Structure 1
Amino acid sequence: MPELISAPQFFLGLISGTSADGIDAALVRFEGDAANAGAELVFGHTCRWEPALRERLIALGQHAQPLTLDEVGTLDVRIGRAFAEAASHAMRAAGVTARALVAIGSHGQTLRHHPHGNVPFTLQLGDAHCIAEHCGVPVVADFRRRDVAAGGHGAPLVPAFHAAILRDPGEDRAILNLGGIANFTLLPAQGEVRGFDTGPANGLMDAWCLRHTGQAFDAGGAFAAQGRVDGALLARLLAEPWFAAPPPKSTGRDQFHLDWVEAALAGDEAPADVQATLLALTARSVAEALQATQPRTRRVVVCGGGVHNPRLMAALAEAMPDAAIDSSAVHGLDPDFVEAMAFAWLAREHLAGRPGNLPAVTGASGPRVLGALYPP
């Protein structure tokens, strides 16, 4: 595949993360023909899921319910159509035609992520044929499975984008994404880029908040603010062996779900205390992971939905007192669309024939060109 020309190029990135709170669409302008060309967010928008479909996705993630083949096929198309609508909405709102886009990079919706065992796999739904047919734009999708086939976790994939955009030779940095799951990209001033999941972030807090307040998420951390951290419960949660496992590692809602929380409860905890404890769990697991892997970090750049929870940001600052805690907005990247921008970038890398994974991050046996191309 020839190198991309130096004129500005427009790509659209699509992702629905572990929280399944919406489909993020990011229209990204790339300048230049180098692998590390600058990326500018031209337009970003989140399309909410149709409520019944989101409810089903959450239920499947929380309880590992069995699925018939018919339901898998139906979900694949329904999710693909929803992604296509999100892309079309972004194109209309930004005033961009199909001819102006080089490609759409679609992550899809993760249904299962099991990169361990004798038959490791990861499964993202969202039929890319539907997106290509509806939008009239080439689509690059199915990014994770090639890395898994090469012995990796297929996650996290965003660190390569972080390294291209946010690395600073003057300081050790860490990029912290607070989605449903929290994950780090470690960007040392000198040395190898690393990245890994640290454990739950918004996913558990959202699910607990929905169950006990009827609200889809804890706006501003108000529900957690009503409670206090239960030290004994926090210790039981942190005793989960997964936290002590060394990188590379990844996880998802199928591991950290409400049944996992309930198994650690004594039974008499106030709901607000559990919420406060889940927030503390995120802050502690993040801080301990950073201390174990890059203790001289001087700046943590935070993106993802958790950046809007001031109580969580304060807890992170308290847990990591030696590092400055910044929103990615300070560095010119909208925290709500960094991941969607990354999948626009990964589509660009695919078309250029460049690897999109970092073996030191995912554990793959080598660099691989990620994704498959679906023509319009």
Structure 2
Amino acid sequence: MQNLYIGVMSGTSMDGVDMALVDITANKIVTLASDCEPMPESIKQRLLNLCETKHTTLQNLGELDHQLGLLYADSINKFLLKNDIDRKQIKAIGCHGQTVYHAPNTQYPFTMQIGDANIIAAKTGITTIADFRRKDMAYGGQGAPLVPAFHKAVLQNQQINRVVLNIGGISNISVLIPNQAVIGYDTGPGNVLLDSWIYQNLSKRYDKDGQWAKTGKVNQALLSQLFDEDYFKMPAPKSTGRELFNLPWLHKKLTQFALLPQDIQATLVEFTALSIAQEIRKLPINKQLPCQLLVCGGGARNPVIMQRLSMLLPQWQVMKTDQVGINSDDMEAIAFAWLAYCRINHIPSNIPEVTGASQAVCLGVIYQ
């Protein structure tokens, strides 16, 4: 008897709706199908405007919430049809929603993901789990990152120091060191600045294979300026997003520089790689065991970032998560299928050591 769940994720990069059909039976997690539905340009532009300017109207916010609900529902229905899946067999959908603001360190901490889960449940006819982050925050946590709990469940190995690195818009790590508590946090930017900069200059959504960055040279003075940010001095647990690392933030950093656009792109690649490597170098690894850096997310497809990580971390074997059996493009969608499974089965799914919450709690709200 299969236990089928669908995970849905649209991340900081806003490039599409990732979906994964997962069978979770007897603690075994098997991915049966996956797909990505592109984010319509009109919705993406409205989201980017909202996230980067931090200004909107209630009308605009409400409409975007509704539009994203429809987009998720339509994407799931296409996915079901394409893969000949009987929706009656699906126990639940786990949908992360689209983060438009994440502010865990203010007087009144909050996080906001939009994409109306009522619409998803109504249009698909499938129980939907959403709003995964706020329960953790209610118990004093950052509400992020949530995926380390999934990484622990599927990738922990008592014979290997493992770090799972997701390079999406923001980069985050899950640290799986034998006989130590799992930790995880956002290291800083992933693709968010790279994508924004190339779009502004070349009207391309991303730098395929880092080809444009390869034509530039890293500027050390700019690199130092980029690292002059309080976030990098903060201890974990910590989390960040597009509300900090965005195009206006970059423009402020660039005011004293007159550089070629491709040199800025090359410097941003180095910024991403170095901000990750500096955090991994701090880790209290077991020096008797081998070290694996397992990379997933869009950045895993950027050979320039991957090569720099290998050079900056010679002690670590840098590879995609594909090499240990999990498609690097599907990781987060699979994780939210697993989080839906945990919610349906009343299993706590945050890790207090990761998020800073006062206790382990069952995450997600059920929409039927």
User: Structure 1 length normalisation: TM-score?
Assistant: 0.95
Question: Which residue, 301, 304, 307 being the options, matches 1:311?
Answer: 304
Aligned to 1:123: 112
**8 Å contact kept, 1:186–1:294:** no
How far apart, in 2, do the equivalents of 1:195 and 1:18 lie? Answer: 18
**8 Å contact kept, 2:161–2:285:** no
Structure 1: which 5+ runs fail to align?
Answer: 1-6
Question: Which residue, 2, 6, 9 being the options, matches 1:8?
Answer: 2
- Where do residues 6-155 of structure 1 align in structure 2 (5 Å cutoff)? 7-32=1-26, 37-64=27-54, 66-155=55-144
How far apart, in 2, do the equivalents of 1:291 and 1:247 lie? Answer: 15
- Where do residues 307-346 of structure 1 align in structure 2 (5 Å cutoff)? 307-346=300-339
Identity of aligned residues (%): 39
How far apart, in 1, do the equivalents of 2:257 and 2:312 lie? Answer: 28
One-letter code aligned to 1:360: E
**8 Å contact kept, 1:27–1:90:** no
Aligned to 1:355: 348
**Corresponding pairs, count:** 364
Compare 69-78 and 129-138 and name the one that shifted more.
69-78
One-letter code aligned to 2:18: D
1:319-344 CA distance string (max 9 Å, x none): 11110001000011110110010000
One-letter code aligned to 1:283: A
Structure 2: which 5+ runs fail to align?
Answer: none
Aligned to 2:257: 267
1:229/1:295 Cα in 2 relative to 1: closer, same or farther (>3 Å)? farther
1:14-48 CA distance string (max 9 Å, x none): 0100011111011111121xxxx121111111111
User: Structure 2 length normalisation: TM-score?
Assistant: 0.97
Compare 313-322 and 176-185 and name the one that shifted more.
313-322
CA RMSD of aligned residues (A): 1.0
Compare 236-245 and 131-140 and name the one that shifted more.
236-245
- SS of aligned partner of 2:213: helix
Aligned to 1:283: 273
**8 Å contact kept, 1:174–1:186:** yes
How many Å apart are 1:295 and its aligned residue? Answer: 4.8
Aligned to 1:4: none
How many Å apart are 1:50 and its aligned residue? Answer: 1.3
**8 Å contact kept, 2:51–2:242:** yes
How many Å apart are 1:171 and its aligned residue? Answer: 1.2
- Where do residues 288-307 of structure 1 align in structure 2 (5 Å cutoff)? 288-295=278-285, 298-307=291-300
How far apart, in 2, do the equivalents of 1:294 and 1:161 lie? Answer: 21
How far apart, in 2, do the equivalents of 1:59 and 1:294 lie? Answer: 40
How many Å apart are 1:62 and its aligned residue? Answer: 2.0
